[in-house]
Chains A and B, each alone.
Chain A
């Protein structure tokens, strides 16, 4: 019995949330649907943990769906990188699900809770599917599943502006998805296969054809749009700001991360580093865009008056660090980028949850409404501040571990001016985090705010789990760095 489960683990990874979603609607009642969601997400996270363990010890796990070998059937392909991303996504999904019940009660009418949970699980299934699949077309299918579900998750926000935000997100997402589809189609045209391993074999001989060039261009731009690489990020701030707190935390920690993974997978795993970086020179443009994104988005974050919006722009900047690492196309650089997928997911997820806790009590995320909140809700504020330390890259937080890895990688390539630029960019984070801290600390709370209490435990606990993880892996950074290195090595080595 156990064997049967373990043998089909890659399938369970996606099937659990995918089939769990409709059951939420059958359960109807908010409490039941929530309990079911928690159960499913934690089981999914457990799958991912086991997968990571297994793949770190051995080679990639090629799982044939329904026993059909490729190229007839679809295969799932789990290597350490995929398993690491699976664990990030499902882990955050599991922690955030604990938070969902109470937070949603304040933001969404109860008759729609079951729909929300269904969309949540579908989105999770889509993200996991994109990560685990070894089939290029399958990536697109799961991309659409997760995207459609996330438009719903955003559109259910408490504010009517959530609808326009979701609409913009939809337009950008549809464009990105279509681009990726076109790219995959062209690659299929040249090679006659959709299996990633086969593609990787058959693309190099034809790599000088214009078709392959165009297909790679479409995929790169499509993925960059979906992962909100500056200046293709315009859909992101509104979507994060007006979505329900649960959505903001979940989407910010997972969906852009998976797209970064997809970009890395296509660039290194399918088209290959010699083609994408040596021949086409993708590295420098990505580096420039990443660095500009870090500076511009951080600067914009400084001037935001809404905390969620501030965090959204900060996310655009932080994505820049991931792309910066990947743009080096060295094992150390890619490892730094992959490492930041995890470190930023827990940090930013925790911060969005902390802000959500404040919003639950005060009904607002605007800075002017949060004046003096540090005195009324010290525990939530402390979680936010510790998360903020992570964004700055203060030692003993996960953000520092990333920064260290990134600086090391940049220095090894002789790019010390970029390393200096990265260091200086942290100072912008000091300013925007400091702005929130000052608001929370230097004002007398208003009468209305003074009447509020600290957020309830079921909101604080998930926020602190994520922030706690960012602190734990800020101290035991060697472990996450080790996993990220292993993942990067295998990705670049083509193993």
Chain B
């Protein structure tokens, strides 16, 4: 099977799954859900077949149609996109499995509609990962915003309506008002929109305007949650937990940082940013977001909101990696897409499992629950380790590279920011683990006699927690895959 064919198949697979879900429907729920997970499990192996070719320097490419003269819809897979696609593809079937358990445990309505949009948004995420130019990336970026809106507003009540307004309001206004503007600007200045190693902007845009253009991209891709355009993410937490786990910790938010990484590497180019210093302000904007989000997370008692602010902080790590514009910084950013995904999805899975089993949503209500749900909280502990960046979890690698990247950029102060942030991460995440394991349960908890949630909601967090540990061992492979991207040579 050739590379381009695989790309098409990979894009179609989630859509086929969507169709399958729609056709089988609520009355054949077991068939629907079984088929969905089975189809979903095919995606990652399918993409994995592309790894050897891409690692060897191949760039599977497929040009479809011309959206406007000179602006084709084109897919071209490079290592960074492959890594992002693999992350989304591997975690999708696990989340689908979890989603089945979660929605059934909660007796949610309209499960078919939920899974239709859920699967479709994976296709949009893959479109972003495969995008071969800025226009294609923008197309799927918008599709992803729109296809996840029905998931955010799934409950169709007043709260969902409000959250939906904030969600689309921020994501659409930034993407149309800033991102599209930046793309039009780039197009007018350079006459092309392609992603080229080494960048396309050099010599086309006045040096003094480069920071402005970079800002349009960085805030235009509001899915990256850079403050002050981060408000949509905590709002999106009203969605059912599988959405928060896969989309608002992995696929959607990573689409934002992925966009920024791609733009820095393939539109600006590292040399241009290093020479002009156009991205120095962005380092500090990211550093501010890292610290501020962690501080806000400390104040949140609602577990999912705390995790959401944690995500905002962790995304800013990746933006920081991009802004450093040094090889190690970008490697760290790319790695963190993977590491944070595995860690944070585990935390969300656990939060959802706790909700299903005990209907508790606040950290203060989790006191002593560890002895009733040991596996869930053990998984939470491992996920926390990875997010904090401690061995033996995968997150340690990305933080390491980010640190050395900051030194390469001669910004030792940023290393301090990273360390302070890690301490803050410990404070707000270990707080949960500590309360659950080391404090005695109050009487109400003892009387209720809680047990672990159903198998379908318990197994996925264990899988992803295991994955976080495996990534500690496998980090080097990801680094090797990504290294050609930052080396400047394809």
Contacts and interface: CB of A to CB of B under 8 A. Distances in A.
20 contacts: A394-B142, A395-B138, A395-B139, A395-B143, A401-B67, A405-B68, A408-B184, A411-B184, A411-B185, A416-B185, A420-B181, A423-B177, A426-B176, A427-B172, A442-B153, A475-B67, A477-B68, A478-B67, A478-B68, A478-B71
Contacts of B168: 430, 434
Interface string A369-413: 000000000000000000001001111100011001101100110
Contact of B68 (A396, A401, A423, A441): A401
Given A404-B71, A420-B177, A427-B177, 15 more contacts: A393-B176, A395-B135, A395-B138, A427-B172, A427-B173, A434-B165, A442-B157, A442-B160, A476-B65, A477-B67, A477-B68, A478-B65, A478-B68, A482-B69, A485-B69
Interface in B166-204: 168-169, 172-173, 176-177, 180-181, 184-185, 187-188
Interface in A456-493: 474-478, 481-482, 485
Contact of B65 (A395, A430, A475): A475
Given A427-B177, A442-B161, A408 B188 contact: yes
Pick from A392, A426, A442 the residue with the most CB of B within 10 Å: A442
Contacts of B153: 441-442
Contacts of A434: 165, 168
B187 A408 contact: yes
Nearest to B158: A442
B156 A476 contact: no
A405 B67 CA distance: 11
Contacts of B161: 438, 442
A419 interface: yes
What does DSSP make chain A's interface, helix, strand, loop or mixed?
Answer: helix
Contacts of B67: 395, 400-401, 404, 474-475, 477-478
Nearest to B138: A395
B482 interface: no
Contact of B180 (A405, A423, A430): A423
A344 to B, nearest CB: 16
B73 interface: yes
Interface of A: 389, 392-396, 400-401, 404-405, 407-408, 411-412, 416, 419-420, 423-424, 426-427, 430, 434, 438, 441-442, 474-478, 481-482, 485
A395 B156 CA distance: 26
B68 A411 contact: no
Given A394-B142, A423-B177, A424-B177, A407 B184 contact: yes
A427 B176 contact: yes
Nearest to A395: B139
Contacts of A404: 67-68, 71, 184
B66 interface: yes
Nearest to B110: A375
Interface string B33-77: 000000000000000000000000000000001111101010000
A404 B188 CA distance: 11
A482 B172 CA distance: 29
Contacts of A423: 176-177, 180-181
A481 B181 contact: no
B188 A476 contact: no
A441 to B, nearest CB: 7
Nearest to B161: A442
A481 B172 contact: no
What does DSSP make chain B's interface, helix, strand, loop or mixed?
Answer: helix
Nearest to A442: B161
A398 to B, nearest CB: 11
B9 interface: no
Interface of B: 65-69, 71, 73, 135, 138-139, 142-143, 146, 153, 156-158, 160-161, 164-165, 168-169, 172-173, 176-177, 180-181, 184-185, 187-188
Contacts of B157: 442
A172 to B, nearest CB: 34
Contacts of B158: 442
B341 to A, nearest CB: 26
A235 to B, nearest CB: 31
Contacts of A401: 67-68
Nearest to B173: A427
B66 A419 contact: no
B139 A478 contact: no
A404 B139 CA distance: 12
B146 A394 contact: yes
Pick from B135, B169, B173, B188 the residue with the most CB of A within 10 Å: B188
A407 B187 CA distance: 10
Given A395-B139, A401-B67, A475 B73 contact: yes
Nearest to A389: B146
A396 B143 contact: yes
A319 to B, nearest CB: 21
Contacts of B68: 401, 404-405, 408, 477-478, 481
A432 to B, nearest CB: 13
A430 B139 CA distance: 17
Contacts of A416: 185
Nearest to A441: B156
A394 B140 CA distance: 10
A426 to B, nearest CB: 5
B188 A411 contact: yes
A274 B96 CA distance: 64
A485 B180 CA distance: 23
A422 B142 CA distance: 18
A434 B171 CA distance: 14
A476 B66 CA distance: 6
A418 to B, nearest CB: 12
B143 A477 contact: no
What 6 pairs across the A-B complex have the smallest Cβ distances? Answer: A478-B66, A395-B139, A411-B188, A407-B184, A442-B161, A477-B67
Nearest to A402: B68
Nearest to B176: A426
Contacts of B156: 441-442
Nearest to B179: A423
Contacts of B66: 476-478
Contacts of B184: 404, 407-408, 411, 419
Given A396-B143, A481-B69, A412 B177 contact: no
A401 B157 CA distance: 35
Contacts of A474: 67
A291 to B, nearest CB: 16
Contacts of A427: 172-173, 176-177
A485 B70 CA distance: 13
Contacts of B73: 475
Contacts of A393: 176
A408 B69 CA distance: 11
A394 B177 CA distance: 12
Pick from A412, A416, A423, A427 the residue with the most CB of B within 10 Å: A423
A142 B279 CA distance: 61
Contacts of B172: 392, 427, 430
Contact of A396 (B139, B169, B176, B188): B139
A475 B68 CA distance: 9
A239 B212 CA distance: 46
Contacts of A405: 68
A419 B188 CA distance: 12
Contact of B142 (A395, A442, A482): A395
Contacts of A426: 176
Nearest to A480: B68
Nearest to B67: A477
